[in-house]
Amino acid sequence: MEIFSNMLIYFVIIPVLTLAGLALTKNKGIDAIRAVAVTGATALVALAIYLVVVFLHARAAGDTSDMILQTSVTWYEPLNIKLALGVDGVSVVMILLSAFIVFAGVFASWKMDPLPKQFFLWFFLLSTGVFGFFISVDLFTMFMFYEVALIPMYLLIGVWGSGNKTYSAMKLTLMLMGGSAFLMLGLIGIYFHSAPEGQPLTMNILEIAKNDAIPHQWQYYLFPLTFVGFGVLGAMFPFHTWSPDGHASAPTAVSMLHAGVLMKLGGYGCFRIAIFLMPFAAQQLGWIFLTLTGISIVYGAFSACVQTDLKYINAYSSVSHCGMVLFAILMFNKTAMTGAVLQMLSHGLMTALFFALIGMIYGRTHTRDIREMGGLMHIMPYLGVGYVIAGFASLGLPGLSGFVAEMTIFVGSFEHQDMFRRVLTIAATTSIVITAVYILRVVGKLLYGAVQDEHHRTLTDADATERISTATLILAVAIIGCFPNFFIDIIRDSFTPVVKALTSVM
């Protein structure tokens, strides 16, 4: 079993072991459950950091292959389906992000009730899917892990959610599954054109890209299928409506994981599969999706301006920010794509932070309606400051992650030669103002001003676990914001193959 000699597989094994450990715990033994969960999450973080080190070593040692730590073991021999692992810079940072958010999520759901055991079971099943998706380079396994990551959402929201939870859970699951239906068709199409006549078909992304055998007229069908399939998860206009309801009803940790990691699967897949494997169609049809994503950037921001539910505001701002991710990916140059990945990181962290804080505030005030709250800064300064920091990150304050990501995206996109893309970029830049508008609106209504509800005066500030989870995220946001080059150096070269493929079909 040479597969176990590859460290990547342990990103799947650790969550599975955690699942097993949780399964062994008693329903009542809350401490044991927490212990197992924290252990699993910590192990993941450690492994992720170690992976970064390994990656940097490999690159420093002059390993210039597209992916490192590649392993491929046959799984379904007749269909040439393999369990193929491998990571490049993008997957490495994505794994790091996921690990961090899982870690923070565990702490954010410390007091989860009822059925904490089942909650963590689903939680870790979800993270299994996420990590599996990021480490695999085989279409089939990627798709499998993708769906593994999707389905726990239903119960996580349905059982532990709030508000109109069953409706939202069903809507979210069905829309995402609808996306994956498109996706599956696209993948099947890719599979059957994965190799030139006579050679065996393959599911390995790298081989498919090497063969470059997908006929152009087929790409016209397959590219939209795959891109939309992932775009649904990337909250691309007009397929984003699951996001507000879903986030509004989801429990804190689930919103964190969903906005923080799951929505990234969309952008990652778009770049890794849709664009990488079908560069021709990407060049031809790119403008359509570019327009759509451009719309979702401004559209989401404007919609966020008038929401009154904290989670709706964040959901719509996620639509805007994730739109920026797809937008940048469709710019087809290294800088913009690097910006996209930075934006994924930044959005992942700060949205997770947002949802964590919202969850904590909601847990105290039992309302998410900003009209019923006010002056919370007087009462819970820690949470208030955290919220302000998250807000600044979101509206792109230098020194926090958002600024770096957005600037990279804008500069990269504007470097594009054709006028259409540059005009769209200008249009996209307006979002920084609108973002400021709605963020400051929330901060002003929620934290500043006089205390609205006298009952709130008795509320407490964050406790230890909450401080841990928020501090982790704030620290991460600040680190990315202050030392972006570290991440950029990891990411940038990963785009060499895709950019080469894109330019070759120009």
Partner 1 sequence: MDYSQFLMMPQEIGLLVVFLLVFLYDTFMPSKTLKGLPLFATIVFGIFTIFSFFPVQDGMAFGDMFESNKATWAMKNILNIGMFIVLLQSIKWANSDFVAIRRGEFYELMLLTLFGMYLMISGRHFLVFVIGLETASLPLATLVAFEKKYYESHEAAAKYVLTAVFSSAIMLLGLSFVYGITGTLYFSEIASSVQGDNSLLLIVALAFLISGVGYKLSLVPFHLWTADVYQGAPTMVTSYLSVISKGSAAFAFFVIMVQVFGAAYAQIWEWMLYAIIVITITVGNLFAIRQRNLKRFLAFSSISQAGYIMLGVVAANAVGMASMMYYILVYIFSNLAAFGVIAVIERKTGKVTTDDYNGLFKTNPWLAFVMMLAMFSLGGIPPFAGFFSKFFIFLGAAQTHNVAIYVLVFIALVNTIVSLYYYLLVVKAMFIRQDECAIPAFKSHWTEKAGLIICTLGIILIGLVSCIYTSLSDITTSLTSMFSMI
Partner 2 sequence: MPLSSTIYVLAIPFFMFLFLGLVGVKMPRKITGVIGVLGMAVTTVWAYAIAFTYFFGNGEGQMLDGVRQQIVTTDWTWLSFYADKLVVRLGVLLDPISAMMLIVISTVSFMVHLYSLGYMSDHDGNPEKGFQRYYADLALFTFSMLGLVVSTNIFQMFIFFEMVGVSSYLLIGFYYGQQPANHASKKAFIVTRLADLFFLIGILILSFYTETFDFKEIMGANGHDVCNAFTSAQGLTFMGCSVTGWALTFIFIGGAGKSAMYPLHIWLPDAMEGPTPVSALIHAATMVVAGVFLVARMFPLYVLEQGAMDIICVVGAFTAFYAAAVACTQSDIKRALAFSTISQIAFMMTSLAVSSAKGELIGGHEAGLGYMASMFHLFTHAMFKALLFLCAGAIIHAVHSNENSKMHGLHKYMPITSIAFLIGCLAIAGIPPFAGFFSKDEILVACYEKGIGWGLWMSMVAGMTAFYMFRIYYLIFFWKKHEVHGEHKPKDQPWTMTVPLIVLALISCVAGFVPFGKLVTWDGVQLETHLNLPVACASVGIALIGIGLATVMYWKENPLPDKLATMFKGLWTASYKRFYMDELYQFITHKIIFQGISKPIAWFDRTIIDGFFNLLGNVTNSASFGIRKMQSGNVQGYVSYYIIGAVLLAAITGIVILFV
**Chain contacts with partner 2 (rule: CB under 8 A):** 171, 174-175, 238, 241, 299, 302-303, 305-307, 334-335, 375, 377-378, 392, 395-399, 403-404, 407-408, 410-412, 414-415, 425-426, 429-430, 432-433, 436-437, 440-441, 444, 447-450, 484-485, 488, 492
Amino acid in the structure at residue 99: A
Report what 285 binds from partner 1, partner 2, none; CB cut-off 5-8 Å by kind: none
Measured from the CB atom, the residue of 138 and 245 that comes closer to partner 2 is 245
Q: Which is nearer to partner 2, 32 or 437 (CB)?
A: 437
The least distance separating partner 2 from the CB of residue 124, rounded to whole angstroms, comes to: 30
Kindly state the smallest distance separating residue 164's Cβ from partner 2, in Å.
12
SS3 letters for 331-350? CCCHHHHHHHHHHHHHHHHH
User: In Å, how far are 8, 66, 490 from 51, measured between CA atoms?
Assistant: 8, 16, 12
The entry of partner 1, partner 2, none near residue 363 (CB within 5 to 8 angstroms by kind) is none
Tokens representing residue 188 in the block = 């099947």
Cβ proximity to partner 1: between 191 and 268 the closer is 191
Would you state the structure tokens that stand for residue 258, as one six-digit string? 């969903």
84-94 burial, b for 16+ CB within 10 Å, e for fewer?
bbbbbbbbbbb
- Residue 280 interacting entry, from partner 1, partner 2, none, C-beta within 5 to 8 Å by type: none
Instruction: Indicate the residue among 149 and 404 with the shorter CB distance to partner 1.
Output: 149
165 binds, among partner 1, partner 2, none (CB under 5 to 8 A by kind): partner 1
Residue 454 interface partner, choices partner 1, partner 2, none, CB cut-off 5-8 Å depending on type = none
Nearer to partner 2, 43 or 473 (CB): 473
Judged by beta carbon, residue 450 or residue 506, the one nearer partner 2 is 450
Q: Which structure tokens are listed for 107?
A: 């702490």
* Closer residue to partner 1 in complex, CB, 189/396: 189
- Alpha-carbon gap, residue 80 to 72, rounded angstroms: 11
- Cβ(358)–Cβ(368) below 8 Å: yes
Residue 469 touches which member of partner 1, partner 2, none, C-beta under 5-8 Å by kind? none
Burial of 418 (0-12, 13-18, 19+ CB in 10 A): exposed
Residue 497: which of partner 2, partner 1, none does it interact with, CB under 5 to 8 A by kind?
none
Say if CB 259 and CB 345 are below 8 A apart.
Answer: no
What is the closest distance, in whole angstroms, from the C-beta atom of residue 160 to partner 2 in the complex? Answer: 24
CB of 294 vs partner 2, minimal distance in Å:
14
Give 89-157 as a DSSP string: HHHHHHHHHHHHHHHHHHHHTTT--S-HHHHHHHHHHHHHHHHHHHHB-BHHHHHHHHHHHHTHHHHHH
| Binder of residue 430, out of partner 2, partner 1, none (CB less than 5 to 8 A by kind) | partner 2
Peptide bond just before 215 cis, omega within 30 deg: no
Tokens representing residue 389 in the block:
């920091």
Which lies closer to partner 1 via its Cβ, residue 123 or residue 354? Answer: 123
CB nearer to partner 2: give 105 or 374.
374
C-beta atoms surrounding 248 within 10 Å: 24
Q: Buried (b) or exposed (e) across 18-38, using 16+ Cβ within 10 A?
A: bbebbeebeeeebeebbebbb
377 binds, among partner 2, partner 1, none (CB under 5 to 8 A by kind): partner 2
To the nearest whole angstrom, how small is the minimum distance from the Cβ of residue 21 to partner 1? 18
State the nearest-atom distance from the C-beta of 151 to partner 1, in Å.
Answer: 5
Give the shortest CB-432-to-partner 2 separation in angstroms: 6
Q: Which residues bind partner 1 (CB under 8 A)?
A: 75-79, 140, 143-145, 147-148, 151, 154-155, 158-159, 165-166, 169-170, 173-174, 177-178, 181-182, 184-185, 188-189, 191-192
Closest distance of CB 135 from partner 2, Å: 27
Strand (E) or helix (H) holding 465:
helix 464-482
- Residues, the chain: 506
Residues 186 and 218: their CA atoms lie apart, in Å, by 10
Closest approach, Cβ 25 to partner 2, in A, equals 38
Our CB check for partner 1 shows the closer of 117 and 321 to be 117
367 or 429: whose CB is closer to partner 2? 429
**Cα first-last separation, the chain:** 43
Closest distance of CB 404 from partner 2, Å: 6
Query: Whole-angstrom Cα distance, residue 467 to residue 465?
Result: 5
Partner touching 408 among partner 2, partner 1, none, CB below 5 to 8 Å by kind: partner 2
**Binding partner selected for residue 181 from partner 2, partner 1, none, CB under the kind-specific 5 to 8 Å limit:** partner 1
Measuring CA to CA, how many Å separate 195 from each of 158, 201, 208, 402, 437?
43, 5, 7, 41, 51
